[in-house]
A and B are shown apart, each in its own frame.
Chain A
């Protein structure tokens, strides 16, 4: 609509939370500074405490207790959303997530639903320094019963929350902070379409033919990857298409296999530090699934294993940027 600014990802997330609260009286929200008028450090919970004061619980600075409390609420029958102010602080609630909430789903010899979503604002490029900029996904990867999801402009957050709650499994929902203020709509240069039946994977492409590169990435890396795809095409005629999941774990690569097999090369990009992680797990599974059909080794792009600097120029140099991805796409040539 002319004259109206396009919705931002943070606004869509906020609207999704409102819709969930309006439609489901079991939903409870816990977190620090989430109460209005502040509405959370990034404004994502704005308006919720005014509309649902009995179900929005502002807490002290006590991440371990908050997530433990979420487990108790879930055991009682509530559906719980926890906002951590920064995803870096998920280290403070590792025990209740890993040993209580996730295990309780199956360690008692029966399926015991534990509908808890821990929302984690993550990622850098904001100059917040070593303890407020990380992408800690890998620390929670491969925990029995624990699902991992990523916020993106390509997926409807409300549907993700509903999928999690309907599953009965707990989840961690990673939200790259830079997305909050970015448009929730895709540049008209690209086409986006779901792959497979469950809307988990979205394919973003420019044209239909087999590309030089198939890129698999998630969350806040998507805008950077798309900028790189556009530049690689315009400046070097290197073509690429992007595959973006909402759900990082459990990982289901099957729907992508025909397209991946047709691509000349495969690139997996993650913003968490090198030395294990989601991208490596994606590559490991693809080697098994596509063995004999791969024309080149799979390329994994991650920041080196280093502390994230506070100074913006140093931080930019460490983390994966659009230029990092573009260099990779162009550097390999057309072979």
Chain B
């Protein structure tokens, strides 16, 4: 349970920690582990001084893009400051992303953008809270007018719901019946501020105020999450207007690095809800095999990318 769960009226889908949950299929499991090991490698690189600036890992939240990416594809994603998982789930390109983060040759954006400003056909992220929501809406309106497939997707956090432009966009999106999906990764904390101290009301209530459809999901049962969402996403494609997916999730890591003020006992409790130990326990052999493989992929990626010359500012 999140510390503030009692404040919400929305249903928290998924299963309580401790339930036996089988790991997802091989492809999804591999992507989950790719993201997990990538993000953990970043924190190690920071400790060694080989990564500079800032980075926001999605440790604990990997389930969100892994569950949603196949469901929403083909799409244009407008991601945010915590976007590595969104990118990796869509493109499985750890080398291009790490080169961008370390300013090395082959960098996705030539080292210009860094962690929070990524771009590739089908993907764009920016570092200002809420900025991507109207942009995704504009892209959705373009898709509809030109008859291209959608939807456009904006990933935001629960903390982003403090930004006014999100509500301007929800209003306009519903008026336009735009093929837009807004995914709220509700991890219960905004940098160091618990959601209960930053958000009055509920996510569902916010969507309802604009007549926008809202579905709440959570947990780690990827197949179940997709089943629950499939019909709602199809309605977006069919022209029924935007959708808010409230995805209850858990941020295991710090906001960026070394800035986690949460109680260690609380963090320990959150770790027990994490998919990693639960999938490992449920199917040790298959999990272990994938885990070793993805760990190796990331280790080799780190070694190889750090041996490259520095990037020149132009995308690969």
Docked complex Cα distance between A72 and B150 (Å): 14
A109 and B110 contacting across the interface, CB-CB below 8 Å: yes
Docked complex Cα distance between A100 and B138 (Å): 13
Q: Is B295 among interface residues, defined by CB-CB distance under 8 A?
A: no
CB distance from A67 to the nearest CB of B (A): 8
A68 and B109 contacting across the interface, CB-CB below 8 Å: no
Q: Is B206 among interface residues, defined by CB-CB distance under 8 A?
A: no
Which residues between 37 and 56 of chain B lie within 8 Å of chain A, taking CB atoms? none
- With A64-B165, A95-B131, A109-B315 in contact, is A59–B172 under 8 Å at CB? yes
Interface centre among A64, A99, A106, A108 (most CB of B within 10 A): A108
Q: Is A78 among interface residues, defined by CB-CB distance under 8 A?
A: yes
B141 and A69 contacting across the interface, CB-CB below 8 Å: yes
Other-chain contact of B172, A60, A74, A76, A103 (Cβ < 8 Å): A60
A100 and B141 contacting across the interface, CB-CB below 8 Å: no
Other-chain contact of B141, A60, A67, A73, A104 (Cβ < 8 Å): A73
Interface residues on A, range: 20 to 34
* B residues less than 8 Å from A104 (CB atoms): 119, 124
Interface residues on B, range: 35 or more
* A residues less than 8 Å from B109 (CB atoms): 107-110
Which residues between 154 and 181 of chain B lie within 8 Å of chain A, taking CB atoms? 164-165, 168-169, 171-172, 175-176
Q: Is A211 among interface residues, defined by CB-CB distance under 8 A?
A: no
B145 and A65 contacting across the interface, CB-CB below 8 Å: no
Docked complex Cα distance between A55 and B128 (Å): 29
Residue in B closest to A73 when the chains form the complex, CB atoms: B138
A75 and B164 contacting across the interface, CB-CB below 8 Å: no
Q: Is B135 among interface residues, defined by CB-CB distance under 8 A?
A: yes
Docked complex Cα distance between A109 and B111 (Å): 7
Q: Is A138 among interface residues, defined by CB-CB distance under 8 A?
A: no
A72 and B314 contacting across the interface, CB-CB below 8 Å: no
Docked complex Cα distance between A108 and B315 (Å): 7
Docked complex Cα distance between A251 and B168 (Å): 35
B138 and A71 contacting across the interface, CB-CB below 8 Å: yes
- With A60-B168, A73-B141, A76-B146 in contact, is A68–B135 under 8 Å at CB? yes
Q: Is A70 among interface residues, defined by CB-CB distance under 8 A?
A: yes
Q: Is B254 among interface residues, defined by CB-CB distance under 8 A?
A: no
Docked complex Cα distance between A99 and B130 (Å): 12
Q: Is B126 among interface residues, defined by CB-CB distance under 8 A?
A: yes
Docked complex Cα distance between A106 and B313 (Å): 10
Docked complex Cα distance between A65 and B118 (Å): 21
* B residues less than 8 Å from A77 (CB atoms): 142, 146
CB distance from B169 to the nearest CB of A (A): 5
* A residues less than 8 Å from B171 (CB atoms): 60, 62, 65
Residue in A closest to B311 when the chains form the complex, CB atoms: A109
* B residues less than 8 Å from A264 (CB atoms): none
Docked complex Cα distance between A62 and B175 (Å): 13
* B residues less than 8 Å from A10 (CB atoms): none
Against B, the Cβ 8 Å flags (1 = close, 0 = not) of A108-120 are: 1110100000000
A106 and B134 contacting across the interface, CB-CB below 8 Å: no
- With A68-B138, A75-B124 in contact, is A107–B113 under 8 Å at CB? yes
Q: Is A54 among interface residues, defined by CB-CB distance under 8 A?
A: yes
Q: Which residues of B contact A (CB under 8 A)?
A: 76, 78, 107-113, 117-119, 124, 126, 128, 131, 133-143, 145-146, 148, 152, 164-165, 168-169, 171-172, 175-176, 313-315
Given contacts A66-B172, A75-B124, A76-B148, 14 further A-B contacts (CB under 8 A): A59-B172, A64-B134, A69-B135, A69-B137, A71-B138, A72-B138, A73-B141, A73-B142, A75-B135, A76-B76, A78-B145, A99-B128, A103-B117, A108-B112
Q: Which residues of A contact B (CB under 8 A)?
A: 28, 54-55, 57, 59-60, 62, 64-78, 95-96, 99-100, 103-104, 106-110, 112
19 of the cross-chain contacts (CB-CB < 8 Å) are A60-B171, A62-B171, A65-B172, A68-B137, A72-B78, A72-B137, A73-B141, A75-B76, A76-B143, A77-B142, A96-B134, A96-B165, A100-B126, A100-B131, A104-B124, A108-B119, A109-B110, A109-B111, A110-B110
